[in-house]
Structure 1
Amino acid sequence: MKPKINKLYISRWRYTLLASFLLALPVAAIWHIAGLQVLADVDKGYEFLQGKVKQKLVHKESIPAYRGVITDRNGQPLAISSPVIIVSANPNQVDVNHPNFLYLADYLSLNPKSLKKRLSKNSHKIHLRLKKDLEPAKAEKIRALKISGIYMKKAYKRFYPGGELTSQIVGITNSEDKGQEGIELSFNHILAGVPGNKKVLKDRRGSVIKDLGIEKNAKPGRNITLSIDMRLQHKAYTELKEAVIKNNAKSGSVIILDIHSGEVLAMANQPSYNPNNRGRLSSEELIKGARNRAILDIYEPGSTIKPFTVLAALENEKISSEQFIDTNPGYIQIGKKIIRDHRNYGKISLDDLLKKSSNVGAIKLGIDIDPGDMHDLFSRVGFGEVVGIGFPGEVSGVLPWHKKSMKLERANLAIGYSMNATALQVARAYSVLASGGIKKPLTLQKLDSIPKGDRVVNAELVTEVRKMMMGATRSGGTAEDAAIYTYNVAGKTGTSHKNSVGGYEEKRYVSLFAGIVPAENPRLVTVVIINDPKAGQHYGGKVAGPVYANVTERALRVLRVAPKISDNKRAVVINQKVDPSQSEGDI
């Protein structure tokens, strides 16, 4: 007997429901896929997903702005930006066995084996810089090699055609093209421009796949025209360098000012450096070479101050231009300190005081002047204050205030000690003498119009002092070597002892000469400072004087300043050897 089997029956409505559900699943899946990839108005549809992808793969990249050009007053470039290409690689994508790999290494100026080793060593990276300043022409050759994993980006590299001649004025930029020294730093906000940006598509490794277009164009920086004349700058630099080497000096500076405008026509310093090759210099060499000593280094100006001591005495009616000063017996004692002249000059005029650079005569005038009046005159011509030329780190120097009882300090001030000034400050003070008592602002930028300036000293008194200063370069003066043929020079030498921690050093000096030319109708002021000469000579007239004459004579010819000779008593030494022991001193 067979067992009884019960059959399982499914109701029609249940079957229909199950079949409908199974059929609905693929339809729902298709609908969801369509919503993700086709339909734009579906919540979190394809536009949403594409946006998410773009957030990860689409990036903004900066477009560098062209940095403004710095030129001299005649348009000669002193700092320009050249386009370069930054070449990078994704080490994982570069095929080192590519048939063009050797050409890649050659265009990058790299050894093929070293390049392979470098790529292998950095295989964990997605970005490796191979060259930061490749020439665009070579970059195009690399692009033509079609080696995967090699990427390029446009940039700019700063180049300085003036080299070491203008390095301390122009300054330098860093690797990010930002000003670090000099004009590049002071006017970085003008030169830098405004970077732009563009969109690029990158893969998950960060490599650029495609440029998607520029969002904002870069705005180039503005150009700057300096007051410097490269014809004069070259002469000033070469003469200064030769003098520093010849005299075995530590450093030196030369400044040439245009009296009419207050523009700096030349500013040279030693030591210097070539900013285009600064990578080869040690940090110490770079620091020494980059220092603009004409603006930053302070010295006791010595006897170059004596014209202002005479001016203060005339202004305060302590003496007249016709009176004489008794310098007997050739020295003066202030407290325990004895200060001497080169020799006993006896009774001398103010003209001879400046011509012979008498310490005794200047001290007697200085002691007779109220210290407040002396400080006031020195301050009015610019000592003890920042010139304001717009150069980073500019210093003010030191102009002390002395009580009437401080006779030794007042005596020192009268001959250019117990105060400090830069070469630029000395030049500005002499520009007041040259411009008839008008103090004008000085500038390193070319001007379109001449500033008026402010009157700080009586014009007649200044003219008298300027005439007295003409004796320094004439026969018997302290600066015969600073004479310029066919021009009258109103100048003054200075030779100051160097000051150290233990006091003044007997055999270390700063040699100076400051001059105005033409003396009758001034156009130029030139200041020369040679710091710490060790080759034998140290007097300002012998060390700084020849530099002044050579540099200024060149400037007068370039500017076509008409010559004038008022008499034949000028010191024009031609083929004549002078015994140094017979020349006048000016300490």
Structure 2
Amino acid sequence: MRPRQTNYSSWLRVRLVALGVFFLVVFLALVARAVDLQLFERQRLRDIAERESIRQVDLSPRRGIIFDRNHEELAVSIDTDSIYANPLGIADPARHARLLAPVLGQPAGELAKRLGAERAFVWLARRVSPEVAEKTRQLGLDEIYILREPKRIYPYSDLACHVLGFSGLDARGLEGLERSQDQILRGQAKSLTSVRDALGRTIHLTPEALLNPPEGNHLILTLDKQIQYATERYLAEAVTKHRAKAGQAIVMSPQTGEILAMASTPAFNPNAFDKYAKDAYRNRAITDLYEPGSTFKAFVAAAALASHRVSLSQTFDCEHGQWRIGGRIIHDTHPYGMLRLAEIVKVSSNIGAAKVAQAIGAEGMYAMLRNFGFGQPTGVDLPGEARGVLRPARTWRPVEMANIAFGQGVSVTAIQMVQAFAAVANGGVMMRPHVIQAVLDKHHQVVRETRPQMVRRVMSQDEARELTRMLMSVTEDGGTGTLARVGPFAVAGKTGTAQKVNPGGGYSKTDYMSSFIGFAPAEDPKAVVMVLLDTPRGQYYGGVVAGPAFSRIARVALSEMGVFEMAAQGQPNAPQAKGPAQFAQSPPPARPASLAQARQALAQGATPDLGGLSLRQVLRLAADAHCPVTAQGWGRVVRQSPTPGAKLSPGGLSVQLAPTHGGA
């Protein structure tokens, strides 16, 4: 019996040892795995957990408002709906895509690919209409979310489009002031962080990010919306009537350098900029070079007055329309004999201008043209300005100097021409052109204000007065610019009809740049206006094709500035628009509607009272209520349909606005 019991005890010990070794091995394996997870796999596992449970959505910042000089909104940001998804939580991407495709208007295959990505966040549609957002909500799909994002809106479509430019989906400025002033306009970016709990519910950890992120700073421009609208309208009519390729127009205050209007055609709608060719974005008034033609004769006359080498009584033989110089023949449109300087300007004699330049000399001519700013940028606060081309005087041969005297062989921009003419209108003092009047912070307090900046004196006051008298004769009987008159005021100006350069060299016999530039009232200038048409067909003389548009634009500008009213009352000075400091304390309209009551009415399906509200306020109310809105005019609401209190129609709201001078 004894040996058998001993064997049993030995076998038991072996089994216990084996079991102990087994548990030890398992324990060591668990410890090793724990060490591996805690020390070596920790970051990878944390990333996986965060990817599946934590989401971070970058929200676009809210850009500041761009106002015109009378504080009407030219560019605003309103809240709209954007749709995104968490693909990691979607079990059946194909089903989601099939249901979403007709709502979002996107191919189901493309949606399925995005919904099946190994990512915790993908955009499905940005800044959609209220109808699309509501249909998406009604689908009730898991892991499909809607959040509010600011969207840039240009309420008046293509008004001032080349000056304003536009911003993209990420709220970054891409063209125009939106680009050059992006750091000022761009608001503070925010992120929305959310987690998903064990039951799959989404919890926002930073809900304040959804609540009206702070706007960037605001801009007040020198543009006047009424003058801008008239400038664009009459320029477009002239381009259409004369079948021109394109056109440019500028209105500027000569005393301050403030640009009241700047237009180029063809235009584009910055709300749908991606539907236009990139060439349409170009602000031709500051980027495009052209040979100015006979408008340059004004500066030949200025050089003659400043040089004292030409007297007002001196006559020049205009050779009855043909003059040979340097192996070339210079022609006049009409044959003239002996003409004085003022008569050369009035009838726009090429031969007369060339002979005056000859009397002044190349160095004197070059010095005066540089003094007037040609061949150098004006410094206007807009992106993309060209320098122009003015070669040094030492390179001028006699025939080249003759050509420059009537605007060939030199290239300028429209803004350079306007600045130079404005210096004459301002008694010989040149001002720097600018389009930004002030920068405001989010509380509408002035951060920075643009003061009128004198560049230099380009001629004496007496010389400027004498040159003005010569330019006035251009619009008098017998001059080339009679169609540019703005009765009852005298207009000082100059016509230009310049042959375009052929791509292969030489000048075209059929293509012209036709222009008129001038200022009014001539005795007390308030506005300098330039109109330029590129390649008009049929009639092409500047006085004929650009002069009438100048007259119509100038008449509106003087009317908006109060010049007609002041003249009727016998007062010398027109009233000035509000400055930025006044804007900060601008009173509201006499009877503004209550925003709280308007929101309450919309929530109940009734039409709110919108009287006195700005377009920006109406757009925000409509966006919050997912209600479509159409607007006509600008300013503040004066009429609406349906009437207040009526049942809100499926077609949404229709409002008519009219200009006021209340605060925004």
Alpha-carbon deviation of 1:222?
1.2
Aligned to 2:91: 93
Name the CA shift for 1:250/1:138 in 2 (closer, same or farther; >3 Å): closer
Q: Deviations over 1:157-176 (max 9, x none)?
A: 22222322322111122332
Q: 1:506 aligns with which of 486, 506, 509?
A: 509
Within the alignment, does 1:345 sit opposite 2:344 as a pair? Answer: no
1:529 maps to 532
| Other-structure match for 1:70 | 66
2:267 matched residue in structure 1:
272
Query: Do residues 304 (structure 1) and 302 (structure 2) align?
Result: no
Q: Which residue of 232, 256, 261 corresponds with 1:261?
A: 256
Residue of structure 2 equivalent to 1:132: 126
1:548 pairs with 2:568 = no
- Matched residue SS, 1:497: strand
CA distance in 2, matches of 1:72, 1:405: 45
Which residue number in structure 2 is paired with residue 497 of structure 1? Answer: 499
> Cα–Cα, structure 1 residues 198 and 479, in superposed 2: closer, same or farther, change >3 Å?
same
Length, aligned pairs only? 543
Residues 203, 416 of structure 1: alpha-carbon distance in 2 compared, 3 angstrom cutoff = farther
Return the alpha-carbon distance in structure 1 between the equivalents of residues 206 and 294 of structure 2.
Answer: 67
From 225, 242, 246, the counterpart of 2:241: 246
The alpha-carbon deviation at position 402 of structure 1 amounts to 2.6
Residue equivalent to 2:6? 7
Q: Residues 380 and 97 of structure 1: is their aligned pair in 2 closer, same or farther, counting only changes over 3 Å?
A: closer
Query: Which of 308, 333, 345 lines up with 1:317 in the alignment?
Result: 308
Q: Do the aligned partners of 1:252 and 1:530 also contact (CA within 8 Å) in 2?
A: yes
Q: Distance in 2 between matches of 1:118 and 1:480?
A: 63
Q: Which amino acid aligns with 2:188?
A: V
CA distance 1:14–1:450, shift in 2 (3 Å) = same
Partners of 1:21 and 1:404 lie apart in 2 by 104
On the 8 A contact 2:246/2:264 being kept in 1, the answer is yes
Specify the SS of the correspondent of 1:7: helix
Correspondence for 1:196: 190
Per mean C-alpha deviation after superposition, the further-off stretch among 163-172 and 252-261 is 163-172
SS at match of 2:311: coil
Q: Quick check: 1:318–1:365 contact (8 Å CA) kept in 2?
A: no
Structure 1: segments with no counterpart, 5+ residues: 37-42, 566-587
Letter in 2 for 1:513: F
Query: How far off its partner does 1:126 sit?
Result: 4.5
Summarize the alignment of residues 16-55 of structure 1 with structure 2, pairs less than 5 Å apart: none
User: Which residues of structure 2 form unaligned runs of 5+?
Assistant: 439-448, 569-664
Give the conservation status (yes or no) of the 8 Å contact 1:511–1:531.
yes
Query: Secondary structure at the residue paired with 2:525?
Result: coil
Look up the equivalent residue of 1:171 and give its one-letter code. Answer: G
Residue 288 of structure 1 and its aligned partner are, at CA, apart by 3.0
Contact 2:431 2:452 in 1 (8 A): no
Aligned residue runs from structure 1 range 183-582, under 5 A: 183-201=177-195, 209-213=202-206, 219-281=214-276, 286-403=277-394, 406-446=397-437, 449-500=451-502, 501-534=504-537, 536-562=538-564
Report what 1:573 is aligned to: none
Are the aligned partners of 1:94 and 1:147 in contact in 2 as well (CA < 8 Å)? no
Instruction: Provide Cα deviations, 1:299-324, integer angstroms capped at 9, x if missing partner.
Output: 11111011110111111111122333
Instruction: Tell whether the 8 Å contact from 2:511 to 2:535 is kept in structure 1 after alignment.
Output: yes
Is the contact between residue 226 and residue 446 of structure 1 (CA under 8 Å) also seen in structure 2?
Answer: yes
Whether the 8 Å contact between 1:65 and 1:220 is mirrored in structure 2 is yes
Q: Which residue of 1 aligns with 2:657?
A: none
**Matching residue's letter, 2:220:** T
Q: Judging changes above 3 Å, is the alpha-carbon distance between structure 1 residues 208 and 118 closer, same or farther for their aligned structure 2 residues? A: farther
* Alpha-carbon offset, residue 399 of structure 1: 1.0
What's the offset of the Cα at 1:6?
5.4
Give the secondary-structure state (helix, strand or coil) at the position aligned to 2:351.
helix
> What's the CA shift for 1:18?
7.1
Q: Distance in 2 between matches of 1:432 and 1:163?
A: 34
2-side partners of 1:405 and 1:211: how far apart? 73
Give the root-mean-square deviation of aligned CA atoms.
Answer: 3.9
Name the structure 1 match of 2:573: none
Distance 1:425 1:439 in 2: 11
Is the contact made by 1:370 and 1:404 (CA closer than 8 Å) also made in structure 2? no
Residue deviations 1:76-105 (CA, integer Å, cap 9, x gap): 22222232333134394358779x996x66
> What is the TM-score normalised by the length of structure 1?
0.82
- 2:7 partner SS: coil
Percent identity of equivalent pairs:
33
Alpha carbons of structure 1 residues 208 and 135: separation in structure 2 relative to 1, 3 Å? farther
